[in-house]
Amino acid sequence: MTDKIYPIAVIGGGSAGTMAVMRCILNNDETIFFPGTPLDKKRSRALWVYKVENMPGHLSYKKGIEEPNRENLEWLSQSDFSSKFHWMKNRGVSEVTKESEFFLLKDNKGDEYKARFVIIATGVMDTQPLINNKIKDIFPFANAQSVDYCLRCDGHHVLGKELAVIGHKSDAVWVGAILKERYDCPNVTILTHGQKPQFDQKAKELIELYKFDVEEEEIEQVLGDEKTGKLDGFILCCGTSVYSQIAFVALGMIIYNELAVSLGAKTDERGFVIGQKDGLTNIDGLYVCGDLKANTKKQIYTAWDNAVDSADSVNRILRTEKRQRLLEAR
């Protein structure tokens, strides 16, 4: 560890983290960037998202989140601002503590760094259905987007198709109802995957209104072509076959809030980290942005928006301090 204190540290290499570091650097603020380890990347939402069709300019990429992010980071590393950009490739932060005037960060290799401000963008992961106690059976279909997770990102895929929704709570029913109402799915089946249904009265009314089928048996097999990702449905443990051309998973999210919580940041009842409009948490100097932040849409464009808010807020503080020093030196 050196005595150097970086003005800003950004933790997380997804859409929010990449935008945060871009804005910090283009604001001409020296920033150290921890995009995460290969294991962190395997735990990220980006791993499950190939095509991004609801964002202008992303359709040409095979991996619609990872590739444009890397393209912009490579540009930063070669730009006129490269001296301000400290890109700690394949490094993640395992521990953060708050000292009196700075944060102390320890990376996955045990190296330590100091930073005046920290922006955390470690994101979330959609909870996957375990089929025969593993997730690999769903993986090829998720990558092909015949199994989806986000209504706003991927809802248009269901247009006129037979739909299955995996989930046992009222949220799963609402996902089915919204998709049916928007895209006229001929039939919708709710697969509770061996879990006892926890549907409130409104969800029960929707099931009756739209004549949803509800299957409570556990899923035993995914039907379809793993090479192409074409989904044909599911076989349940009881032997029942459920025809489905597309499926949505509505099992909630895993929220990667450990670093923020370890610093004492407040969370909402679901675990999302609470921040002001600019992402400032209850911990002085600690900001949060992207999917990790409470009360935000979990979209690329909203992640970008609140990442910019965080970066600009820090820049405003740094500029104000610099201006004050110049005034005092007159």
Look up the CATH number of the domain holding residue 23. 3.50.50.60
Stretches in the chain below the pLDDT threshold 50: none
Beta bridge partner(s), residue 214: 190
Judgement on whether residues 10 and 147 belong to the same structural domain of the protein? no
Beta bridge partner(s), residue 190: 165, 214
In the listed set 216, 249, 282, which residue is the last one of a domain according to the structure?
A: 249
Judgement on whether residues 55 and 147 belong to the same structural domain of the protein? no
In the listed set 210, 226, 249, which residue is the last one of a domain according to the structure?
A: 249
CB 229 within 8 A of CB 145: yes
* pLDDT tens-digit series, residues 11-21: 999 999 999 99
Judgement on whether residues 22 and 63 belong to the same structural domain of the protein? yes
Judgement on whether residues 180 and 41 belong to the same structural domain of the protein? no
Judgement on whether residues 191 and 112 belong to the same structural domain of the protein? no
* Dist. CA 39–CA 21, nearest whole Å: 21
Closest-CA residue to 51 (of 113, 135, 137, 143): 143
Judgement on whether residues 135 and 175 belong to the same structural domain of the protein? yes
Q: Which domain holds residue 317?
A: 5-125+253-329
Report how many domains make up the chain.
2
Q: What is the pLDDT of residue 55?
A: 85
Q: What is the pLDDT of residue 1?
A: 63
H helices present in the chain, as ranges: 15-26, 38-42, 66-78, 139-143, 151-154, 170-183, 201-210, 258-262, 300-329
CB 235 within 8 A of CB 217: no
Judgement on whether residues 132 and 245 belong to the same structural domain of the protein? yes
Judgement on whether residues 26 and 111 belong to the same structural domain of the protein? yes
Q: Report the predicted TM-score, pTM, of the whole model to 2 decimal places.
A: 0.94
Judgement on whether residues 220 and 236 belong to the same structural domain of the protein? yes
Judgement on whether residues 227 and 284 belong to the same structural domain of the protein? no
* pLDDT tens-digit series, residues 199-220: 999 999 999 999 999 999 999 9
In the listed set 201, 225, 249, which residue is the last one of a domain according to the structure?
A: 249
